[in-house]
Chain A
């Protein structure tokens, strides 16, 4: 295996854009070199942020490291990209088992079985789930962790999101509240949060001015296309990612992070910030 890792590392060095990082990170993971696997997966995701297999791989590494909350986010993202991704469905099923939500676990395994009817592992896990037992062989699960009760629920909201809001600050307690989160009204007026660029300069007002009217234009576009209500805009930049969403009809929420933060993670951050924004808008409406 060491030779294989060396060979794959060499291939990746020669062609950093190739998908060989998937095999390399998997090999490192199997060898128990989780930190190295983590680094390879994150670097790969920076180059391939919309590759469901990369999110699935990263989730399995996170699950091995017992970081179940982030593993949940990554599997969730894999499913957003590829709704029938069997690895992600199995991974989420495993996490639901861990928190005792057998119904959700079985539902995810049933979806996996529909996508891969010949997968014996899925069939076995589903049989166990219907019998109320925890599957021992869910991919991505360290055997000991699979059998042990989970100390933390992936369904629990983040502590920061559960904290009472400070009166004056929309995103109090949320990561990036003062440099990467922004809440605007329909005319581009800043309601909360702030943005700073990589040099630490405050760019809040400049960004807000350009985003005035975006919510209405997004709504018009999706209406014209018959796509229903718009739910978000995800954009990749050369040195960072942004995610826009509308926490209420008129307001616009912007999340900005550097490229090291995968798009899926950004969507989750945006969801949580939108929840905080909605509560704040209701309280201050």
Chain B
């Protein structure tokens, strides 16, 4: 399987969950979009940059607090959520979701997608 096909498969796992508006793979180091399946109107590149920046701050803060690097994080908002799983090779698996999404299910699919991405 090519890397691109693997990325598509990983994103499919996430976007098939009800209430997910889109998914992205983002380079954690520079915030660049690696692959995306987003609904129209979502500015992927800008969201990716902010997600990567937040991920870096969170990781450093959590390591400094002694709880280890983040395995999963979830930015909650009044109108929805951003859910993120960092992978060991520096990719962030990101989902944008509606407010009533089943967070547990999305988390599970993000983790599965992270395994596919490697």
Contact = CB atoms under 8 A, between A and B. Distances in A.
B44 to A, nearest CB: 10
B66 A240 contact: yes
A83 B50 CA distance: 28
Given A207-B61, A217-B54, A224-B46, A197 B66 contact: yes
A274 interface: no
Nearest to B58: A235
Given A81-B103, A230-B77, A242 B50 contact: no
A95 interface: no
A64 B92 CA distance: 41
B3 interface: no
B104 A81 contact: yes
Given A51-B104, A80-B103, A81-B103, A235 B73 contact: yes
A217 B70 CA distance: 18
Interface in B79-117: 79-82, 96, 100, 102-104, 107-108
B77 A222 contact: yes
Contacts of A218: 54, 75
Given A227-B81, A229-B77, A236-B73, A211 B61 contact: yes
B79 A226 contact: yes
A81 B104 CA distance: 6
B67 A242 contact: yes
A113 B60 CA distance: 45
Interface residues of A, number: 46
A203 interface: yes
Nearest to A240: B67
Interface SS of chain B: helix, strand, loop or mixed? mixed
A224 B47 contact: yes
B65 to A, nearest CB: 5
B81 A52 contact: no
A164 B71 CA distance: 38
A242 B75 contact: no
Contacts, number: 137
A198 to B, nearest CB: 5
A241 interface: yes
Nearest to A212: B57
A197 to B, nearest CB: 3
B51 A221 contact: yes
A116 to B, nearest CB: 16
Nearest to B66: A197
B16 interface: no
B57 A214 contact: yes
Nearest to B42: A225
A268 to B, nearest CB: 14
A158 interface: no
Contacts of B80: 222, 225, 227-228
B71 A238 contact: yes
A227 B79 contact: yes
A226 B22 CA distance: 13
A107 interface: no
A70 B47 CA distance: 36
A276 B105 CA distance: 33
A128 interface: no
B6 to A, nearest CB: 24
A226 B99 CA distance: 12
B50 A227 contact: no
Given A236-B71, A242-B58, 10 more contacts: A50-B107, A51-B104, A80-B103, A203-B64, A217-B50, A227-B80, A235-B72, A242-B65, A254-B61, A256-B67
Interface of A: 48, 50-52, 80-83, 195, 197-199, 203, 206-207, 210-211, 213-214, 217-218, 220-222, 224-242, 254, 256, 258
